[in-house]
Amino acid sequence: MRLYIAEKPSLGRAIASALPKPHKNQSGYIEVGNGDVVSWCIGHILEQADPEVYDETYKKWQMQHLPIIPEQWQLKPITRTKAQLAVLRKLVKQADSIIHAGDPDREGQLLVDEVIDYFKVSKTKKANVKRLLISDLNFPAVKRSLKSLKNNQDFMPLSISALARSRADWLYGINLT
């Protein structure tokens, strides 16, 4: 089964509409006629872990703990999207291949890459992740995009850029405000 992971449900529905019918709507995903599945994040589905996840002593804010700089960064599920994360976990395990369909910008790249990394997708499967770039949700544009998948590895600089910004925001927020 090929799994398409979109950034948001509206993009997921647009992708499914351009794939073979019949479609079967499930909770958090759509099964399409050729056995493939389209699912989605709901914007950010993971977030940077709080300081106390790294060390319990950080639970109570104290000036002498600063600066707090994680040695190994951690992500945690966002409470309001845990159910969708569980759906994605199940689907990622079942998938033979993954199509990354985040928005064509650095945040869209990071959103889906974080999910793939969070589930510890094997290096072999991760190396074969394809990138679907859709900037217009109309049917002909989506259909064209589905015919020109790229290698997701080619977009890692975008993901790294968004990750750097995210970590810098966390460091600044925790240590300087």
Q: How far is CA 104 from the centre of its chain?
A: 13
* CB atoms closer than 10 angstroms to residue 63: 5
Please give the pLDDT value at position 177.
76
**R_g over Cα of the chain:** 18
Q: In tens digits, what is the pLDDT along the chain, a chain of 177 residues?
A: 999 999 999 999 999 999 999 999 999 999 999 999 999 999 899 999 999 999 999 999 899 999 999 999 999 999 999 999 999 999 999 999 999 999 999 999 999 999 999 999 999 999 999 999 998 999 999 999 999 999 999 999 999 999 999 999 999 999 997
Q: Kindly report whether the global pTM for this prediction surpasses the value 0.85.
A: yes
- Cα separation, 64 vs 173, in Å, equals 16
Please give the pLDDT value at position 41.
97
